[in-house]
Amino acid sequence: MNYLFYPNSVAVIGASPNPTKWGFRILNRLISSSPKAMVYPVNRNADYILGHKAYPNLLAIPGPIDLAVIVVPESSVPPVVQECVDKGVKAAIIITAGFKETGVEGARLESEVLSIARKGGLRLVGPNCNGHFNTAIDLFTTGPRRIRSGPLALISQSGNFGTYILERGIEKGTGFSKYVSSGNEADITIEDYLQYLAKDKETKVICAYIEGIKDGRRFFELARHITKKKPIVVMKVGRTAEAARAVLSHTGSLAGSDAVHDAVFRQCGVIRVDEVDELLDVVLALIRQPLPRGKRVGIVTTGGGFGVVAADACRRHGLEVPALREETIQILNKYLPPRWSHSNPVDMAGSYEGSYGCMGNLLKADYIDAVIAVGSLGVPSDFLDHSTATVGIDTQEYVGMMIEIELRFVDGLIERIDKYQKPLIITSPVGGVGGVKPPALVKLEENGIYSYQTPEEGSKVISYLVRYAEYLGLTK
């Protein structure tokens, strides 16, 4: 597996100068990310591709090759894999499709390839996949160019969907450690990747897009151990018969009974989500936030409407919104104007300066396990968008002042999250839209505390954290 993620040399077999071909995209992606590894294009008909000397075949390359990326037509895959074995290549990624997912004939071809590899001690990724990356050494056979390094590893049985998850992850502000599109998993399976990533120091959270699991027992045993230390979040598809049919023609997996999967995931602490945004939202919280020790949520808002929506959403996701105790009301009276709601959700009645004291004291209250703030941090984007303001100076001064106040809050908030060991989920419906992110939210993000847009998202995240905490026996 180390040869896959940390190769010293990579050959692209089927490299192409034609930009409509995968053989071009992969070589281009590899070269443009300037990996520490040497990159060798293999193509019978070209001397140079993308400025790199090309070789007619693998054996013509001087020196050893750790990793081969194979993008030749499916009928040429068996001889190319044999060539890899002859060259002593350690691992190969077979991008090419047309194997088990297409039926009996493809399955036969896949067995043939696997048998050649097994005999020669060559490990295989795919076939029918779109590549991998390791940000630690700038090695990319795929992946959007804006990817940066971060604590999240992703295994995806679908290349397209993997790319989509990566794109959304970038948009939400997270970085990735490693990615692999595992395809048909003829040789290396999701269980193998899990085992490897469990020990990977750059990875704090593992997520996976799963269509089918080959060795359920091994998955279960592995996951049960890993989730005690590293969270695993999966999007397992194929809930319905229609989807199961599509899985079969996609990666040739059997989707299996959905209820069984639900039960298995629950028993080994794997967090199962239904949608990509849920996956990333949960992951962002797992990176840095403490796990809650119960499901009682304190809600802080700048406006009543947000409080109503947040309370509804909390209940929809199985959380509680306890009434405030008298002592808390007394404390909040010190921070808030007389017209505040005096109840949970805490509607601060327009107060801006009070939000810090409010969030801090709710985190402190021993009958509250998590806090959601809605709109109470993050200067509204209409203010930030100076370019459209007609009356400049005064407004800008005011906005500057608000930003200053907020930035001063940030360190204290992080201190309280750590001190009370409770998650603080900041949602900012009107801050940061239109591409201008409020500076306080940026600063929090730099410290691993990500913010969300809606109270719905925030409460859903807390409900997942609560269930994980319950599994780990952290709740009271």
Task: Report if residue 173 touches its own copies, rule: CB under 8 A.
Answer: no
Smallest distance, its own copies to C-beta of residue 68, A: 22
- Quick one: which H or E segment has residue 169? helix 159-172
Contact call for residues 136 and 202 (beta carbons, < 8 A): yes
Applying CB under 8 A, the span of 142-150, 194-202, 219-227, 265-273 interacting with its own copies comes to 142-150
Identify the sign of the CA torsion 236, 242, 248, 249: negative
Beta-carbon-side half-sphere exposure of residue 331 (alpha carbons within 13 Å): 17
- Quick one: which H or E segment has residue 471? helix 455-471
User: Which residues have a Cβ under 8 Å from the Cβ of 33 and sit 6 or more positions away?
Assistant: 138, 139, 140, 145
Task: Report if residue 177 touches its own copies, rule: CB under 8 A.
Answer: no
- Closest alpha carbon to 154 in 141, 146, 139, 143: 143
- Chain centre distance of CA 474: 24
Query: Which residue in 108, 214, 228, 315 binds its own copies (CB under 8 A)?
Result: 315
Smallest distance, its own copies to C-beta of residue 391, A: 6
Task: Report if residue 163 touches its own copies, rule: CB under 8 A.
Answer: yes
Q: How many residues bind its own copies (CB under 8 A)?
A: 90
For tokens 């990310």, what's the residue? 33
Alpha helix (H) ranges present in 227-269? 241-251, 258-267
Task: Report if residue 406 touches its own copies, rule: CB under 8 A.
Answer: no
User: Quick one: 4 or 49, whose CB is closer to its own copies?
Assistant: 49
User: Quick one: 101 or 191, whose CB is closer to its own copies?
Assistant: 101
Task: Report if residue 88 touches its own copies, rule: CB under 8 A.
Answer: no
Q: Site map for its own copies, 221-260, x if CB under 8 A? A: ----------------xxxx-xx-xxx-xxx---------
Task: Report if residue 45 touches its own copies, rule: CB under 8 A.
Answer: no
Query: Which residue in 334, 388, 473, 476 binds its own copies (CB under 8 A)?
Result: 388
User: Quick one: 177 or 184, whose CB is closer to its own copies?
Assistant: 184
Instruction: At 389, list the tokens.
Output: 């303001």
User: Quick one: 430 or 449, whose CB is closer to its own copies?
Assistant: 430
Instruction: At 376, list the tokens.
Output: 């109470």
Applying CB under 8 A, the span of 88-96, 107-115, 381-389, 404-412 interacting with its own copies comes to 381-389
Task: Report if residue 475 touches its own copies, rule: CB under 8 A.
Answer: no
Smallest distance, its own copies to C-beta of residue 194, A: 19
Query: Which residue in 112, 138, 353, 382 binds its own copies (CB under 8 A)?
Result: 382
Instruction: At 216, list the tokens.
Output: 């359920």
Task: Report if residue 156 touches its own copies, rule: CB under 8 A.
Answer: yes
Task: Report if residue 35 touches its own copies, rule: CB under 8 A.
Answer: no
Beta-carbon-side half-sphere exposure of residue 311 (alpha carbons within 13 Å): 16
Query: Which residue in 185, 192, 211, 281 binds its own copies (CB under 8 A)?
Result: 211
Task: Report if residue 199 touches its own copies, rule: CB under 8 A.
Answer: no
Task: Report if residue 294 touches its own copies, rule: CB under 8 A.
Answer: no
Residue 387's identity, in one-letter code, is S
Query: Which residue in 398, 404, 412, 419 binds its own copies (CB under 8 A)?
Result: 398
- Rounded to 10°, the helix 392-420/439-446 angle is 30
Smallest distance, its own copies to C-beta of residue 16, A: 11
Task: Report if residue 50 touches its own copies, rule: CB under 8 A.
Answer: yes
Contact call for residues 301 and 310 (beta carbons, < 8 A): yes
Alpha helix (H) ranges present in 380-454? 381-384, 392-420, 439-446
Contact call for residues 152 and 287 (beta carbons, < 8 A): yes
